[in-house]
Homo-oligomer: A and B are copies of this chain.
Amino acid sequence: MARDSQLAALVAPIQGGLERMRDVLVESLRSDVPAVSDMLDHIGRFRGKQLRGALVLLSASAAENTPAPPAAAPRGALEQEAAAPNADEMPAVAAIVEMLHLATLVHDDVLDGAVKRRRVASVNRRWDNQVAVLLGDFLYSRTFYISTTLSSRLASQLLSKATEEICAGEIEQAAGRFDFDMPLSRAERIATAKTGALYGAACELGASYPRREAEASYGEARCGAALRAYGRELGLAFQIVDDVLDLEGDEEVVGKGVGADVADGKVTWPVLHVYASASPGVRAAIRDAYTLPGLDEAPGGRLARLHRVCDLAPGVKAALARAESLVASSRARLTSLRPGPAHAALEALGDYVLQRSW
C-alpha cells in the first residue's frame, strides 16, 4: 500500500537498526510457560508500523548519538547483567519501546472491547479479558525487566515515567467522559499523555541514551530535550488527527471503526471546539447525541446523529490547523541537528502524520 511504502522510505536510513530491533523483539517475546508462549506467539502477529521504535533509531541517527568508546571508569558491581557499555544498545532500546507500546495495546483492546487488532483477533477476543489483563501486565513487567539489563538506567527511568503519564492521561480521559466544557488545554494534556509521552521518551532516548544531556561530555549529542519536545508535539498532532479520523474517516482507509469516541463518551478536540461556540439548542442536541439511550443501535450510531445535529466541519478544520501548527513547531525543534537522511525523515514524519488519510 502507498502508505506503507511511504513509511518504508522514511525509515530507510535506519533499516539495519530496525532489523536488529525486530530480532530483539522476537527474542523477548518468548516464555517457558506454554500458555504464555501461545499468547506471545499470537501478539507477535500484531505487526504494526513500529513507528515508536523507528523514532528511537531516527533520533539516535539524527543526533549522531553513537556508541561511546569503552568507559574508563570501572563498571559498577550492579551491572552484572548489563550489556558491554560500548555495545550499540539502541536497537534494544527501540525494542523495549515497542514492547511497552504492545503492552498498552493489549490493555487498550480490553478497555475498548476491541475484537481485532491489525486484522488479527485481539487477545481479549481470542482468549478473554482476564488473561488479556494478565498478559498486558506480563508484558509491562518483562519490558521493565529487560530495560534493567541495559548498561544505563535511563531507559528504565524515562519509560516507566512515560507509562505513568500514559495511564494518568487515560484515567483523566475516563473521568472526563461527557465533559463538554473541558478546556482544550486539558484535552491536549490528555492527548499528549496518551500518545506524545511515549513518542517523546522514544525520541529523547534516541538522542540521549545512555546519558541525559546534563551529564553528557562536551562534543556528545546534546539534543535530548529538543527531540523530546519534537516527539511530544508530533504525538499530540497524531492524536488530534486520530480524533478527526474517528469523526470523519473512511473505515476502509482508517482500518478500524469510526465513531468509537462518540460511542464511548469521549468528547474530543474537534467536538469541544464546535460545542464551545454552539447555541444552547445545538449544545443540547450534541449532548443528546452522546447520551440518549438507544442511539448505539440506530443506523450509523451516535456519530451519524452527531453529524445531523451540528456542523462538525469548523471543528475539524480548527483541529487540523492545530495539528499543522504542532507539526510546524515540532519541526522547528530539529534546527540544531545536522542535516542528513535521518533529520530529513524526522521532518517528513510530520507530513506523514498530517496526511494519514486524506
A interface residues (Cβ-Cβ under 8 A, vs B): 31, 33-36, 39, 73-74, 76-78, 80-81, 107, 110-111, 129-131, 133-138, 140-142, 144-145, 148-149, 152-154, 156-157, 160-161, 163-164, 166-172, 174-176, 210-212, 214-215
Instruction: Determine the residue in chain B with the shortest Cβ distance to A131.
Output: B174
Task: Indicate the member of A31, A133, A174, A175 with the most B CB atoms within 10 Å.
Answer: A133
Contact A81–B157 (Cβ < 8 Å): yes
Residue contact B111 to A130, C-beta cutoff 8 Å: yes
Contacts of A141 in B (CB 8 A): 140, 160-161, 163-164, 166-167
Indicate whether A78 sits within 8 Å of B161 (C-beta atoms), given known contacts A107-B137, A130-B111, A174-B35.
no
Given the complex, which residues of B lie within 8 Å of A214, measured CB to CB?
80
Given A80-B212, A214-B80: A172 in contact with B137 (beta carbons within 8 A): no
- Interchain nearest-CB distance for A40 vs B (Å): 10
* Number of copies of this protein chain within its complex: 2
Known: A136-B137, A141-B163. 9 other contacts (CB 8 A): A36-B172, A73-B76, A76-B76, A78-B212, A138-B168, A138-B171, A141-B160, A141-B161, A148-B160
A178 to chain B, nearest CB (A): 14
How far apart are the CA atoms of A142 and B168 in the complex, in Å?
10
Task: Let me know if A152 and B78 touch, CB within 8 A.
Answer: yes
